[in-house]
Amino acid sequence: MSATPRRAGARWTGFQTILIREFGRIVRIWGQTLLPPAVTSTLYFVIFGSLIGRRVGQVGGHDYMQFIAPGLIMMTVIQNSYGNVVSSFFGAKFGKHLEELLVAPLPNWLIVLGYALGGVTRGFMVGTVVTIVSLFFTRLGLLHPAMIVSAAFLTSFVFALGGFINAMLAKNFDQISWFPTFILTPLTYLGGVFYSIQMLPRWALDASHANPILYMVSAFRYGFLGTADVDLRLAYAIMVMAAVGMFSLAVVLMQRGVGIRD
């Protein structure tokens, strides 16, 4: 990874360009990227928060609406950071304009980082939109802002890399929907977004601890509400390890040219 100052400057420019292109894409297709989460989250707040939530009462010492708001924000961050990279990278691979990057003098780790941070950018943009929507329905405190930002960053980074790896391995459009349908969505819905795991029977509670999304949602929720279902040190350890592991895997796949080089 060592580089001369001139080479490092060129790399930095290349990295910025990937980010600018990804940001431009998010904004250019705002009707697909920013608008749908606002509509969906509004529906969630109306149905689960206002209509059903009144009958649920308190969860974890908070109004149900307050409880689910961080979970819904995190769920949107996860889905969008993943969705951004999987569609952008697979689209570039399918449309062959990925070759623009592959022929350029950019190291593979930088390409992976650029795409992943593009996914993080969309995760944060959409997360901000959903947070604003949630404020129309409930009050949210900012008890630990650094925790909110760090948990959101690590989570979106992990799932952006998941989208990157899925896009590398996918050979057609069907294969980019398998992971979100069969893994991501079930884990998210069972990751304590809509309920506290303390409400579950013992076996389900124990099983929930194998779900990494539980730790991400809990750490994020702690930043707003000050309560969590899991040990926060363990939550951060899992998020950091997942980020390092996914990043390493993505770079190795790039080095080997899996799915992108003959």
Q: Contact positions toward other proteins, by CB under 8 A?
A: 7, 9-11, 13-14, 16-18, 20-21, 24, 28, 92, 95-97, 99-107, 257, 261-262
The DSSP secondary-structure symbol of 131 reads H
Cβ of residue 11: shortest distance to other proteins, in angstroms? 7
The token pair that represents 260 in the structure block: 């992108």
CA atoms within 13 A of residue 134's CA, in its CB half-sphere: 24
Phi, psi of 143 (to 5 degrees): -65, -40
- To other proteins, the closest distance from the beta carbon of 3 in angstroms equals 8
Which CB atom, from 114 or from 180, has the smaller least distance to other proteins?
Answer: 114
- Report the nearest approach of other proteins to the CB of residue 247 (Å): 20
Based on CB atoms, which residue is closest to other proteins, 19 or 56? Answer: 19
Q: Minimum Å distance from CB 173 to other proteins?
A: 17
CB 261 → other proteins: shortest distance, Å? 5
Which CB, 33 or 188, lies closer to other proteins?
33
Q: Residue 193: exposed, middle, or buried by beta-carbon count in 10 A (0-12, 13-18, 19+)?
A: buried
Three-state DSSP class for residue 141: coil
Residue 99 or 206 with smaller CB distance to other proteins: 99
**What residues are paired with 161 via a beta bridge?**
none
User: Which CB sits closer to other proteins, 145 or 257?
Assistant: 257
Q: What SS3 class is residue 191?
A: coil
Could you tell me which of 174, 1, 198, 192 has the C-alpha nearest to residue 78? 192
Shortest Cβ distance from residue 197 to other proteins (Å)?
43
DSSP string, 55-121: HH-EETTEEHHHHHHHHHHHHHHHHHHHHHHHHHHHHHHHTSTTHHHHSSS--HHHHHHHHHHHHHH
* Nearest CB to other proteins, comparing residues 71 and 83: 83
